[in-house]
Amino acid sequence: MTNQNREQIIHDILETIDEGIHAVDENGTTVFYNEIAAYHDGLKVEEVVGKHLFDVFPSLSEETSTLLKAIKTKKPIYHHPQTYINIKGEKIETVNTSLPILSEDKVIGAVEIAKDYSAIKRLTERLADLQKQVHSPPKAERSNGTKYVLGDIITASKNLLLIKTLVKKAAKTSSNVLVYGETGTGKELIVQAIHNESQRRDAPFIAQNCAALPEALLESLLFGTAKGSYTGAVDRAGLFELSHGGTLFLDELQSMPLNLQAKLLRVIDDGTIRRIGSSHSINVDVRVIAAMNISPEQCLSQQKMREDLYYRLNVFSINLPPLRERPLDLPILISSFINMYNHEFQKRVGGLTDEGHALLKRHPWPGNVRELKHCIEYAMNMCDDNRIHIDHLPPYLLNVKETAKEPHSLHEKMSLIEKEIIQVALAECEGNILKSAKLLQIPRQTLQYKVKKYFPDQFSAPKQNV
């Protein structure tokens, strides 16, 4: 392979990456600039390549350019937030990583990788603004941000009836609470019930999923920002300030980066926060309730959670059992969801046939109550009768029924479980392979192989695009 061919291959690979890539030599002249970076900046690739940074971006300086700073210091700059107005007048929010390029300890250039979070940032800022409007002091009869109360926990299970008792006990104090349960078991329902049973019921309830945002944006959303803390930053209250007097629910806590967990621990310990870029401390009275869909023991052993934060949050713990361990709840929940969708869809479905009930009873429900709810919603859309028949139920349940035979070996049982988990993910993502792979946290190619293996007919031409 010639050097020219090798360079072309590298160039083609870099162009396929969905992040902005900008590389300069030791003098600050651009040597590579991909189409994504050009789209961010509202420029054309040929307008940047071969030119010095300052010629194309006159607003930059040696102090503000992370590329030049990486060259000067020989040190990488990770996850640096940047806000700027591009040539089209559009506000661009990126999180940049700038790396010096070294050859025998000599700097020969730098490369910057920029992830565009403009849309996500606009949504999170809009969320913060809406929370501020909803929870601005105080006007009578305003919503506190919840939709569930203790009475919405429908159960005949001993385990869940005990948890309802624990909810009442937890609501009597402001101690921190840690809730653990598989995905779809109803953790937020439990957390909202605690808030609405407590003396904080008239104060804000704000929920934030820790897995939904990159670290820099999550930190600014939680703690707020001070004007000038980074380029384009404005004074903005974070969720801790907006939750003052109420409850802040942090879901999927194990996804929060460890160094951000350390900052969270400090807030819980001393009740004060500092906006990013500010030296001024703000006192907050917030009850923190955290939830995880992975067991605390697994989180600690895999170092996904700081031990000191775990012990600080685990003052009061609630372990939600999965639906498969609550067989008495299945018919109650089915009836509740049918009634709910009868009202929503203006139908009069009386229930399931015996065959339909038997099929749902045999299913292991890896997606728990959420999967059951989606299953009934699908059936209610399909049903034009007064009873839900077996052919009204989602196809993946029927496939299990038609092909199932009692597995004997460990390999057969594991394959059956894997197949059902993939079915649920595909159903939740409407057959989209890429979204399903992200949900399952496996490579897209791996999921494609398994879909061909388990569903050769039904998913012969799966969706692959976002």
pLDDT digits (tens, 9 = 90+) for 281-330: 999 999 999 999 999 999 999 999 999 999 999 999 999 999 999 888 89
**Please, what is the Cα angle at 363 between 357 and 364, to 5 degrees?**
140
Cβ contact 186:320 at 8 Å: yes
Beta strands in 44-105 (DSSP E): 77-85, 91-103
| pLDDT band with cut points at 50, 70 and 90 for residue 85 | low
* Position 369 pLDDT exceeds 90: yes
How far apart CA 260 and CA 290 sit, in angstroms, is 14
CA pair distance 365, 363, nearest whole angstrom: 6
Share of the chain above pLDDT 70, in %: 80
C-alpha span between 404 and 33 (Å, rounded): 54
57-61, 116-120, 130-134: the lowest-pLDDT one: 130-134
Top mean-pLDDT range of 15-29, 88-102, 187-201: 187-201
- pLDDT confidence of residue 458: 47
Q: Roughly how many angstroms between the first and final C-alpha of the chain, as a whole number?
A: 35
Which residue type, as a one-letter code, is found at position 386? N
Lowest mean pLDDT among 4-13, 43-52, 171-180, 269-278: 4-13
Of 61, 147, 72, nearest to 110 (Cα)?
Answer: 72
* Residue closest to 235 by CA, chosen among 269, 199, 280, 294: 280
pTM of the model: 0.62
pLDDT of 86 over the 90 cut: no
What's the mean pLDDT in 110-125?
70
Q: CA–CA separation, 42 vs 205, rounded Å?
A: 40
Per-residue pLDDT band for 124 (boundaries 50, 70, 90) equals low
Does pLDDT of 132 surpass 80?
no
Q: In the prediction, which pLDDT does 105 show?
A: 82
As beta bridge partners, residue 372 has none
> Which pair of tokens denotes residue 248?
């802040």
Cβ atoms of residues 223 and 240 within 8 Å: yes
Q: Give the CA count within 13 Å in the CB-facing half-sphere of 41.
A: 22
> Is pLDDT of 35 > 70?
yes
Please give the order of strands across the beta sheet that includes 177-180. Answer: 205-209, 247-251, 287-292, 177-180, 316-319
d(CA 53, CA 61): 9
311 phi and psi, to 5 degrees? -70, -30
Q: Is the pLDDT of residue 13 over 90?
A: no
Tokens of 100: 């010096």
CB 257 within 8 A of CB 214: no
Q: Could you give the CA distance from residue 410 to residue 204 in angstroms, rounded to a whole number?
A: 49
What pLDDT was estimated at residue 133?
A: 52
pLDDT score at 358: 87
Dihedral sign from CA coordinates of 350, 353, 354, 360 = negative
Per-residue pLDDT, averaged over 178-202, amounts to 95
DSSP structural state of residue 32: E
Backbone region of residue 346 per phi and psi (left: phi > 0; alpha: psi in -120 to 50; beta: other values): left
Phi–psi pair at 369, nearest 5 degrees: -65, -35
Concatenated DSSP letters of 243-312: TTTSEEEEESGGGS-HHHHHHHHHHHHH-EEE-BT---EEE---EEEEEESS-HHHHHHTTSS-HHHHHH
**Mean pLDDT along residues 390-394:** 92
| Percent of the chain at pLDDT exceeding 90 | 46
Q: How confident is the model at residue 136 (pLDDT cuts 50, 70, 90)?
A: very low
pLDDT over threshold 70, residue 466: no
H-helix or E-strand containing 115? strand 106-116
Q: What is the pLDDT of residue 422?
A: 79
- Within 10 angstroms of residue 234's Cβ, the number of other Cβ atoms is 11
Task: Give the pLDDT score at 119.
Answer: 54
Would you say residue 460 has pLDDT above 50?
no
Contact 276, 233 (CB under 8 A): yes
CB count in 10 Å sphere of residue 362: 11
CA 434 to chain centre: 16
Averaged over 177-194, what is the pLDDT?
95
Summarize the confidence of residues 259-275 as an average pLDDT: 93
Could you list the beta-strand ranges (E) of 13-133.
Answer: 20-25, 30-33, 77-85, 91-103, 106-116
- Quote the pLDDT of residue 11: 57
Cα gap 277→227, rounded to integer Å: 8
Q: Does residue 400 carry a pLDDT above 80? A: no
pLDDT reading at 120 higher than 70: no
pLDDT (mean) for 429-449: 81
144 compared with 255, residue with greater pLDDT: 255
Which of 411 and 109 is assigned the larger pLDDT? 109
Give the model's confidence band at 408: pLDDT under 50 very low, under 70 low, under 90 confident, else very high. Answer: low
Q: Say what angle helices 444-454 and 410-428 make with each other, to 10 degrees.
A: 110
